[in-house]
Chain A
Amino acid sequence: MTLSRPLVGWLYVSPLMLVLIPFFVLPILVVLVASVFETDGFGGLIPTFTLANYATVLTSGLTFNLYYETVQFTILTWFFTLILGFFIAYFLVFHVRNPLLAIGLFLICTVPFWTSNIIRMISWIPLLGKEGLINSALLHLGLIREPLGFLLYSSFAVVVAYVHQLTIFMIVPIFNSMARIDKRVIEAAVDAGASRFDILRLIVVPLSKSGIALGSIFVASIVMGDFFVTKVMSGGGSASVVGAFYEDISVLQYPSAAASAVILTVILLAMVSLILRTVDIRKEITR
């Protein structure tokens, strides 16, 4: 039994590895290799080792600005999705009495995520635009005299679109870890005289940590790796790291795009391992 255990484990993960090796490990290696090659300027790669691509990317002032903006959007989105996701999950798990209703409400939250992200993003245009619903309502009420310009094609619109799209990635894992909390623990706390806030602070939050960590990984990696929302919702006013190397690719500058991609991936991996350090997801299952 103990002898066959490694074999059984590897048999079970072999299909996963059959996908991850050709579609994650090898592509990343290809990008890594491309990042140290020279370009012939026509989309071809010349196999000579060079670090010039990295030097170009790292010494450009533009790179710093790109990262600054992307990280800013990531932090804002993370903050709002976390607050919303946590309290919505808390509401569904601890306040909705009928479990079928809770599942129903949970599904109401997830349904919009079945439609295209892009369509969902565009759906803000009739609301936030200069002639949009919000502006015309405010004008009608006499609260403003001119349409508010910052609503659409701005950083505000970018954050709104991200939060709209990504809150579900917080709700699902946090809901999962909250639903798992042994209700007897909470009962014991109530019996011992704990207030609801104490229960939230000392029981619910610590026991939802794995869900929060998972949600944070999803949200942060999606925002960092996205370019489309920033491009459309900022109206071209903001740029993103990925957007910049998408431009590189469209002019066939594969090596510099690859170098920039490698740097972004390294930063993302560092960030994720930092989050994973605070909570051991593996331990959650082997427990």
Chain B
Amino acid sequence: MSTLPQTVPTVQARVKQRAIAPSRGGRPWTFYVLAGLFTFYVVALYGPMICIYILSFQDVRGGLVFPMKGLSLHWFVDLFTQVRTGDVKGAFDRSIKLAILVTVITVVVSFMAAMAFRRRFPGDNIVFSLMIGSLVAPGLVLGIGVGLLFNAIGIETSWYGSALGAQLSWTLPFGVLVMFAVMSRFNPAWEEAARDLGATAWQTTRLVIIPVLAPGLVAVALFGFTLSYDEFARTLQTAGPQNTLPLEIWSMTLNVTSPSLYALGTVTTIISFIIIGTALGAIVLIQKRRGARANGH
């Protein structure tokens, strides 16, 4: 029981209820104020987006603002069949492939880097500064740099080459920083215990560190996917001849002023929901297993 408060959130929550919000009886007034703020935020977050989902289901007379004109799937068909909206299907395909690639690399590399940063090593500050630099460097500047570099050494820019690298220069520092936050909750005593019991370094990593950090790793994966799937500035100069989805959307905002654009928003959101659902399911599954194991002992 002594190590549980740091792993199982329910125990933490029970302790905290006594401290700030009493678990029985009335809630403090701050609860209602903050619940109001939260509701306002969520409404402002979703309201505009729900508007464009609704507007994407108009018929052929549809415009960019309310009121709704008719009800049909016209603009979805338009999106995938019209030449003027570009190669939306291909862009989708490429963006998802690229995001998966970025996610996998981000999780593995961030985890390794975060492991290194738990102890000091010579030159660690240089690595850290480079990482922060890469994170804050304006995306377009970096994109131009990558584009010029690839030109200079004579490699064609492509979404799976230069754009992949450019996106990683942004998702990796993010991933490592998220890992830092996750790692700081990790109790080194567990690792020491594993080592004392004769586990090898690999066994400790595989059987102790990774399972404990699993929800955090899922969070890093979510971050990696999002940042890549939405990435625009770094990809603009590096994607080469074939567009990714954000670049496609960008060119659409410049020359398409029909609800097709909204239809695209609706489609990307459906995909996002599927991915979020998968990640949430994974976290719930991990927690459930953990709960079962804790009760079994």
Binding site for B on A (CB under 8 A): 5-6, 8-13, 15-17, 19-20, 22-31, 34, 84, 87-88, 90-92, 94-95, 97-100, 102-103, 105, 107-120, 122-127, 129, 131-133, 136, 164, 167, 172-173, 176-177, 179-180, 183-184, 186-187, 189-190, 196, 199, 210-211, 214, 217-218, 221, 224-228, 232, 242, 245-246, 249, 254, 257-258, 261, 264-265, 268-269, 272, 276, 281-282, 284-287
Contacts and interface: CB of A to CB of B under 8 A. Distances in A.
Contacts of B264: 119
B38 A285 contact: no
A211 B180 CA distance: 11
Interface in B32-90: 34-35, 37-38, 41-42, 44-49, 51-52, 55, 64-66
Interface string B2-25: 000000011011011111110100
B208 interface: no
Contact of B169 (A24, A125, A186, A272): A24
A94 to B, nearest CB: 5
Contacts, number: 327
Contact of A12 (B112, B165, B169, B229): B112
B185 to A, nearest CB: 6
Interface string B156-188: 000000000110110010001110111111000
Contact of A120 (B31, B41, B48, B183): B48
24 contacts: A9-B122, A20-B172, A23-B142, A26-B145, A27-B145, A27-B148, A28-B145, A31-B148, A91-B38, A95-B31, A95-B34, A111-B272, A114-B230, A115-B230, A126-B51, A126-B64, A136-B66, A164-B44, A172-B178, A184-B15, A186-B16, A187-B18, A281-B180, A285-B183
Interface size bucket, B side?
35 or more
Nearest to B168: A19
Given A6-B121, A226-B233, A286-B120, A183 B176 contact: no
B249 A119 contact: yes
Given A97-B17, A116-B268, A249-B144, A122 B261 contact: yes
